[in-house]
Structure 1
Amino acid sequence: MDLFAGPGGLDVAAHVLGHEVTGIEWDAGACATRAKAGMDTFQGDVRRYRAAFFPHAQVLTGGPPCQTFTVAGHGAGRRALDDVLRYIDRLHTAVHNTADHPDRLTAWTQVFRTWRQIHEELRRKEVEAKALKAEKRAVEQSRTEMRKAMRKRLEELGNSTDEAKRILKELKAPQTLEFPDAELTGLLKEFGDLDGVLEKLKVKLEELGDERTGLVLQPLWWIIERSRRPGAAAYEAVILEQVPAVMRVWEEYAAVLDTLGYRTATQFLHTEAFGVPQTRRRAVLMARLGGSGRDPLPQVEETHELYHRRASRTRPSKADHHADTLPLDNAGNENDGTRRKPEKWISMETALKNAQLFSGGQVRLRPPFTVVSNYGTGGVPEARGRRDHDAPSATITGKVSRNRVVHQGTDTDLDDELDRFNNAEAGVLQTFPAAYPWDGNDVSQQIGNAVPPRLALHVLRHVLEPDLDENEVTERLKRGVEDLVAWQPTRTVKPLDHRGLKGHPLTGR
């Protein structure tokens, strides 16, 4: 069962390993892609479903939206993270305090009561936030109308259009403006009053937190429900992944799962160290039923070298949760003579060439190129990041379609529409099959938000097939990667809603 399933990054990796996956995804565009790819999907809000609806699901995976945690230096992001950690602690306390209760129904009732209290708190905040957002939109509309009225009055007083625009630019600090015209002064005062109202609304919204906070708690509640509800069977395994800032959440999750009888591990994964032609850093939680925190799961072993552009020989500390893309080497993972020597990381050029045969002409050959990022570097917006064709890509984001592809060593765009990566090529850099049938709105965002399938392949194999020996692992991964690159859609399906629960293989209805 894949919560917040996106366009199917984890699902396609699971399929090539021989597993069947059902996903829940609310985004219509991602669901359109999943439908064309033949991915079984319930379209809707995860909060409208429950673990009890799918009693035959054996594994839980997912990556809940955690954007608010990643706003660097922003108070709202820190508060959102703190709120989630407090809610997890309340659930953990409830689970721990009822662990040895002789009556399973009574224990479950106490745990469920805690969840209902949290759920109601979040619901009230969401309702209040919805009302405040509506009020904020109305105030913003009034400010827009006030600006138009002031501009019209300025022009009536003999100012040119350009002069009126220049004056209005200073409205960021309206108290510094003075006008001899009484009507204009009155409009200016009203505008300033609206600014004050807007600022108060923003503060209230930040205090309420983000409505997505409840989504971050959903996987944990599904695990608790399957572990503690009378008559339910616990998931055999759990795999969750997100941006590095979420590692603190996964560590708190792991403490709860330890109480529920799981062996757990958390790990920062560098995507290029697993054959992804892209530098990206992810935080992963892994768990298998049976054991405790005193017997943690082993870490996923890297198969490729880490990429480093500079002479840096420093591996980031575990506390560095925020850097998604870092120039790194393979320090700290020295070959001790018992492990296979890691392969070299995979470049953009190599990945695109390997995928071309299976792309139906969608992946195109290019001369030596440099990718110029849509983002600035070092805090300078104009200083665009650059990566050459013979290196891994920088992190693929939802703005990947805006990256320029230029002749190597120049600022000259490639010709023949090769100056941008198309959907198939951007997907390949995220390690989707070249034939993946992207569909729906904002495909670039779908690709940027997705789990890299090749990374998912490694993690799924590691957690779901722990008893393979080293040679079997090597062969399993080799075959899995080959199947992933050559994957082709074989069917289309329609997304399901609640009516699709009846008769579904996971529901038992």
Structure 2
Amino acid sequence: MSHIATEDSPPARFRILDLFAGPGGLDVAAHVLGHEVTGIEWDKGACATRSAAGMDTFQGDVRHYRAAFFPRAQVLTGGPPCQTFTVAGHGAGRRALDQVLEYIERLHTAVRPENEQGWREIFHTWRQISEELRRREIEAKEVRSEKRKVEEVRSAKRRAMKNRLEHLGISADSVKKIMKQLRAPQNVDSPDGEFMVLLKEFSELSDELDKLKDKLEEFGDERTGLVLQPLWWVIERSRRPGSEPYQAVVLEQVPAVMPVWKEYAKVLATLGYRTGTQLMHTEEFGVPQTRRRAVLMARLDPTASPTGLAPLPKVPETHERYRPGGSSAQSSKAGRADPLPLEDQKDPCISIKKALETARSVETEQSVKKDLPERPAFTVISNYGTGGDPEARGERDYDAPSATITGKVSRNRLVHKGTNRDLSEFDRFTPTEAGVLQTFPVEYPWRGNDVSQQIGNAVPPRLALHVLRHVLEPELGRQEVDDRMKLAVEELLTWKQPAEPVRIHRHRDLKGHQLARRHPLPLTPEVSGP
């Protein structure tokens, strides 16, 4: 795997540990920048992709590992799977967020120097939180079982209502319309008494199902514990006797997680880190896609007091923000009415058309070329609704950046631009194209089941390039940054799949691993304490 060569002194190389590593979006960016990365990932399909891409990987649950198992890791990264946190209102999402923030505050209290708590007391706080989460998971499992039973009965009632309508001789179109109205049963009117009894029972089951869903969100499920894992790993490396703190931390997730990252930042400041949080619009960093990510960045600065730490500067945008109704072709440096100084000007955001044309220009195998077909001008019709209407599908023309690439990207329709007429062929994005729109290399070797989900959940590598460079190489001057990023983007595009896949590690493979201690602690309750 090639690395970047520069005429100046090469930047420092870091050993990175990537939690919840996915198919390797951050990893491939880190490799292009010259860093060593080891990921932990539980999903079998994502691990198969990582193996084919040559990414060093431990397969398993992050909770079955500890920071102490990887003492040579210098940087911690990750994107923990998070439940939906709703910061507005008083619903289950808000309560789940409050619960996570309360756990973070308990950990923060434990590590504050003025509280004079030693490692055993800090570890005891974590064990208490872990036990509370374990009990809640057990209760949540029982609620999920009850929810499945209610769903089965509710489905049976739905089938019975449909059968009753058909028995009454109602037309197929009318039956379909009535069944759609079940989302708002007060709008359904039928003179048939038997149908109305079924509708009442169906509505009661729907209400019960909503309550069970709210209860599940309050329990927080396993993702509540997972979102706390990176913080605990940083605390363990910072406070456990004999450990050395990580030099840097980079975490990213959906915008709803920003309140969590801001509380994380307070704890990391107490531990001696300069921190920064940033809501990043991916098209402003050369990703041909409108997507927002909440990013936490931290760099160790043990020389300053927590109250005197200046925040990390934001990652500078390189491209313009996408404005609906326009296209990338309509925006240019030369076309500004009030041109900015040359050093502050940004490139136009990258369109679907431009991204796919650039990918087709890369020299690669014919088997890859066939997954990058040429098409006439097209519009992408999303699998998702828009404006709160599930029937109103979002649309994006090919000369604009893509809408957010999700796990349902394979269901998006491609139609002739300005029409609802499907293309005669190639009316869906191929996995290679979806990966390109997520800024993965053209030759990235997607493997396993549900590749679309892997791509949709991944960190866009080009976004990762900007964040990692910014956090790990703060000493570079502006021209050095521009030169380095130009080379990095080129290498990312032309990255080649290794000739042979690498072996995926299991927990037993810790002994002798490059990031591990010589004799790693066995994973048993007896030695899982301080």
Whether TM-score is above 0.5 comes out as: yes
Alignment match, 1:455:
463
**Contact 2:96 2:218 (8 Å CA) reproduced:** no
Shift of 1:257: 0.4
2:317 aligned residue (302, 313, 318): 302
The answer to whether the aligner puts 1:377 opposite 2:386 as a matched pair is: yes
Aligned ranges 1:6-405 → 2 under 5 Å: 6-69=22-85, 75-96=91-112, 98=113, 101=116, 107-142=118-153, 159=167, 201-290=212-301, 291=304, 292=306, 294-310=309-325, 337=341, 339-356=343-360, 357-360=362-365, 361=369, 362-405=371-414
Shift of 1:74: 8.2
Write the letter of the residue equivalent to 2:108: H
Distance (Å, rounded) in 1 between the aligned partners of 2:276 and 2:192: 65
Structure 1 residues 65 and 199 mapped into 2: Cα distance closer, same or farther (>3 Å)?
Answer: closer
Deviations 1:4-46 (A, max 9, x none): 1111000000000111111111111111111111111111111
Distance (Å, rounded) in 1 between the aligned partners of 2:211 and 2:375: 53
Deviations 1:70-98 (A, max 9, x none): 698782221111111111111111111x4
1:505 aligned residue (501, 508, 514): 514
Write the letter of the residue equivalent to 2:488: G
1:440 aligned residue (448, 461, 483): 448
Structure 1 residues 29 and 295 mapped into 2: Cα distance closer, same or farther (>3 Å)?
Answer: same
Alignment match, 2:481:
473
SS at match of 1:272: helix
Structure 1 residues 135 and 336 mapped into 2: Cα distance closer, same or farther (>3 Å)?
Answer: same
Deviations 1:324-367 (A, max 9, x none): xxxx999xxx9874834222211111111111124531222222
Deviations 1:188-229 (A, max 9, x none): 999898777656544543432333111110000000000000
Structure 2 portions without partners, runs of 5+: 1-16, 519-530
Structure 1 residues 335 and 301 mapped into 2: Cα distance closer, same or farther (>3 Å)?
Answer: farther
Write the letter of the residue equivalent to 2:309: R
Distance (Å, rounded) in 1 between the aligned partners of 2:332 and 2:232: 38
Distance (Å, rounded) in 1 between the aligned partners of 2:466 and 2:153: 53
Write the letter of the residue equivalent to 2:501: T
The answer to whether the aligner puts 1:496 opposite 2:500 as a matched pair is: no
**Contact 2:273 2:309 (8 Å CA) reproduced:** no
**Contact 2:332 2:347 (8 Å CA) reproduced:** no
Structure 1 residues 359 and 428 mapped into 2: Cα distance closer, same or farther (>3 Å)?
Answer: farther
Write the letter of the residue equivalent to 2:119: W
Distance (Å, rounded) in 2 between the aligned partners of 1:347 and 1:187: 51
Structure 1 residues 178 and 99 mapped into 2: Cα distance closer, same or farther (>3 Å)?
Answer: farther
Shift of 1:274: 1.0
TM-score (norm 2): 0.81
**Contact 1:53 1:501 (8 Å CA) reproduced:** yes
Distance (Å, rounded) in 2 between the aligned partners of 1:192 and 1:178: 18
Structure 1 residues 149 and 391 mapped into 2: Cα distance closer, same or farther (>3 Å)?
Answer: closer
How many residue pairs match? The answer is: 480
Distance (Å, rounded) in 2 between the aligned partners of 1:280 and 1:269: 8
Write the letter of the residue equivalent to 1:385: G
Write the letter of the residue equivalent to 1:507: A
Distance (Å, rounded) in 2 between the aligned partners of 1:344 and 1:149: 55
Deviations 1:163-201 (A, max 9, x none): 999799699979x999999xx999999989877765654
**Contact 1:358 1:485 (8 Å CA) reproduced:** no
- Worse-superposed segment, 287-296 or 463-472: 287-296
Write the letter of the residue equivalent to 1:294: L
Give the % identical residues.
65
SS at match of 1:215: helix
Structure 1 residues 147 and 46 mapped into 2: Cα distance closer, same or farther (>3 Å)?
Answer: same
Distance (Å, rounded) in 2 between the aligned partners of 1:338 and 1:194: 63
**Contact 1:23 1:41 (8 Å CA) reproduced:** yes
TM-score (norm 1): 0.84
Q: Over aligned residue pairs, what C-alpha RMSD do you find?
A: 3.4
**Contact 1:376 1:385 (8 Å CA) reproduced:** yes
Distance (Å, rounded) in 2 between the aligned partners of 1:190 and 1:239: 50
SS at match of 2:85: helix
Shift of 1:384: 2.4
Write the letter of the residue equivalent to 1:81: L
Distance (Å, rounded) in 2 between the aligned partners of 1:189 and 1:368: 49
Write the letter of the residue equivalent to 1:443: V
Shift of 1:454: 0.4
**Contact 2:383 2:393 (8 Å CA) reproduced:** yes
SS at match of 2:80: coil
Structure 1 residues 285 and 203 mapped into 2: Cα distance closer, same or farther (>3 Å)?
Answer: closer
**Contact 2:406 2:452 (8 Å CA) reproduced:** yes
Distance (Å, rounded) in 1 between the aligned partners of 2:202 and 2:291: 45
